[in-house]
Structure 1
């Protein structure tokens, strides 16, 4: 029976249990009540070899680790502090991972951390905060630990994107929004989510054939988590619809609210992207509701699935992080 929008992570784990068992899995953006935490708790039931919980708060990471160990004290768990808005933090965290001799390889990396629709601010490195946190930090961190990922027999990278990619292509000549003058928080978010999709496509193209790396992006659905806790939807919805109207998209005139998923449904596509074996034939694909997205039905924008756009972003990203990764 095909998976769909109602499929839950709890339902998927038994299907993929043989593929999860013995794996080492690193997940960013882990905190109580988050998609990252829900994902980790579900796959923990299938006896992975090691779970690496990454996030900004050591206390929140420790709480998530405690919850898992309470159900299975035999699972090996490692804690990794990382602030993806900081390139220096991404480098330090990568050095730590690369220095773990007891973790010879990483089978699955899930770049799950992110921010959404925040007011304009620059990162410590001088980049717009969405672009820094949701793209440049994960771009650098992923590539710095790539040797360890490629030591896996079946390496896989999952980029958690969003249908918010529809809000903006990559603004190659104004990614910083002219110091805030051209900024819209939904456009900033949209640009970063497009970047997630293009990064998955680049990794698949650059490392798929030669190194057997699989990379996918996904839209988890609309889920109420801490990601949106700062928003006031009574006013912020108008801002979101305004961007769609400026783009001439039908969503701008069809405000019917969000069809919300709970965490169990919201993390199902995470699990599908991480372990489904049939996806090998579709490296670089974008996934929705635990299936490959249909660009027409699921409204996937061509600016987020274009090889040229992906390569342009890769080159720009190397320039901005100050390091080349010539795969």
Structure 2
């Protein structure tokens, strides 16, 4: 999970200034918005460019309201809407999607940022019986994105952004056994890797299925290593060794590297880049790092996460698991 030296990194503040005209009057829906998270930092950053509406999705009403207040203080002209959604439950996801689709005053969503996620949690099942990281990080965003797709495609320049990670290096999709034999063979870092690979494959699928016909742009990204609430549950004196052991067993260079951290402003720069940069139209479906398109020859980009064949296999598995078909 190493990143280049923080002094050379682009910042969200710089990019928001550059893209101000592209952000102004846009409607952006971001999941996983709460104080001290990338989602929270992202919506506060882009609020400075006066988007028309920011939709904040999360599972905690109190935290959503806190973020809403922060945005209203930054940009009083921007409409702010909160959306309660628990990604651990497909029923909650369906209800949230139905709510978004019912909002007559918001006819289109210009950018959907699937930012919410969990990392390296102990084995457990979602409400619907799926391994928690796959359920929260992929299956819920997969269904939510597709259920509000009609509203996204009503935008003049629709985009979907999936926050993945270079942690995708830790595992391809376990097509025959996504639940790790009911936990018997569970490794929390491998499970995290599987879910992050799925994020990248979903962006590829959306770009492939809807890019030409509906001009939808879809991207995945690695924000870098940032000190946020995402890893608060981990005991790094133990868990870092587990991550390094997993990397070493796979022959990944990260097993022998030290972390290189970014500031939150640097960390969300790639969120801003993926959401608004106009030059990305020629790289639909791409995986992004450091506010640029990743280079498979010099960056950590595994072939299992950039294969259209794997993307189609994952699309079909996801439809099977959530019990919904999305034909485009």
Question: What TM-score comes out, normalization by structure 1 length?
Answer: 0.97
- Mean Cα deviation higher: 118-127 or 228-237: 228-237
Choose which of 39, 43, 49 in structure 2 pairs with 1:40: 43
Distance, in Å, in 2 between the alignment partners of 1:270 and 1:250 is: 25
Q: 1:315 aligns to what?
A: 316
Q: Which runs of 5+ in 2 are unaligned?
A: 1-6
Distance, in Å, in 1 between the alignment partners of 2:292 and 2:75 is: 30
**1:184 offset after TM fit, Å?**
0.3
Q: 2:286 aligns to what?
A: 285
Distance, in Å, in 2 between the alignment partners of 1:277 and 1:39 is: 18
**1:5 offset after TM fit, Å?**
5.3
Distance, in Å, in 1 between the alignment partners of 2:109 and 2:194 is: 28
Q: 2:326 aligns to what?
A: 325
What CA deviation, in whole Å up to 9, does each residue of 1:214-267 have, x standing for no partner?
Answer: 000000000111100011111111100111122122322x142x1111110000
**1:22 offset after TM fit, Å?**
0.7
Distance, in Å, in 1 between the alignment partners of 2:134 and 2:97 is: 19
Q: 1:136 aligns to what?
A: 139
Structure 1 segment 12-91 matched on structure 2, within 5 A: 12-91=15-94
Distance, in Å, in 1 between the alignment partners of 2:192 and 2:61 is: 26
8 Å Cα contact 1:5-1:290 kept in structure 2: no
Q: 2:4 aligns to what?
A: none
8 Å Cα contact 1:220-1:288 kept in structure 2: yes
Q: 1:231 aligns to what?
A: 234
Question: What TM-score comes out, normalization by structure 2 length?
Answer: 0.97
Between the two proteins, the alignment pairs up a number of residues equal to: 323
8 Å Cα contact 2:44-2:74 kept in structure 1: no
RMSD between superposed Cα atoms in Å: 1.1
Q: 2:215 aligns to what?
A: 212
Distance, in Å, in 2 between the alignment partners of 1:66 and 1:95 is: 25
**1:188 offset after TM fit, Å?**
0.6
Distance, in Å, in 1 between the alignment partners of 2:257 and 2:297 is: 19
Distance, in Å, in 2 between the alignment partners of 1:255 and 1:104 is: 47
**1:79 offset after TM fit, Å?**
0.3
